[in-house]
Amino acid sequence: PTQIGISTLAAMKQRREPIACLTCYEASFAQLLERAGVEVLLVGDTLGMVVQGHDTTLPVTIEQMTYHTACVARGRQRALLIADLPFLAAATPERALAAAGRLMQEGGAQMVKLEGGSAIRETVRQLTAQGVPVCGHLGLLPQSIHRLGGYRYQGRDHAGADAIRHDALALQAAGAGLLVLECVPAALAQEISLMLEIPVIGIGAGVETDGQVLVLHDALGLYPHRSPSFSRNFLPGHESVVDAIGAYVQAVKSRTFPAAEHSPI
Ligand code: KIV
Ligand code: NA
Residues 6+ apart with CB under 8 A from 180: 113, 135, 136, 137, 138, 200, 201, 202, 203, 213
Average pLDDT (6-28) is: 98
pTM of the model: 0.98
CA of 242 to the centre of ligand 2 (A): 24
**Virtual torsion, Cα 72, 227, 245, 106, nearest 10 deg:** -10
CA of 204 to the centre of ligand 1 (A): 11
Residues surrounding ion ligand 2 at CB below 5 Å: 44-45, 84
Q: What is the pLDDT of residues 230-245, one digit of tens each?
A: 999 999 999 999 999 9
Residue nearest ligand 1's atom 1 by CA? 44
**For ligand 1, what atom is nearest to the CA of residue 23?**
3
Q: What is the pLDDT of residues 90-137, one digit of tens each?
A: 999 999 999 999 999 999 999 999 999 999 999 999 999 999 999 999
What is the pLDDT confidence band of residue 260, given thresholds at 50, 70 and 90?
A: confident
Q: What domains can you pick out in the chain, each with its CATH number?
A: 6-262 (3.20.20.60)
Residues 6+ apart with CB under 8 A from 98: none
- Residue 79, Ramachandran bin (φ over 0: left; ψ between -120 and 50: alpha; else beta): beta
Q: What is the pLDDT of residues 60-82, one digit of tens each?
A: 999 999 999 999 999 999 999 99
Q: Cα separation of 41 and 110, whole Å?
A: 10
Regarding the beta carbon of 84 and ligand 1, being less than 6 Å apart is answered yes
Strands 178-182 and 200-203, bridge-based pairing: parallel
Residue nearest ligand 1's atom 4 by CA? 44
Q: Which ligand is nearest to the CA of 180?
A: 1
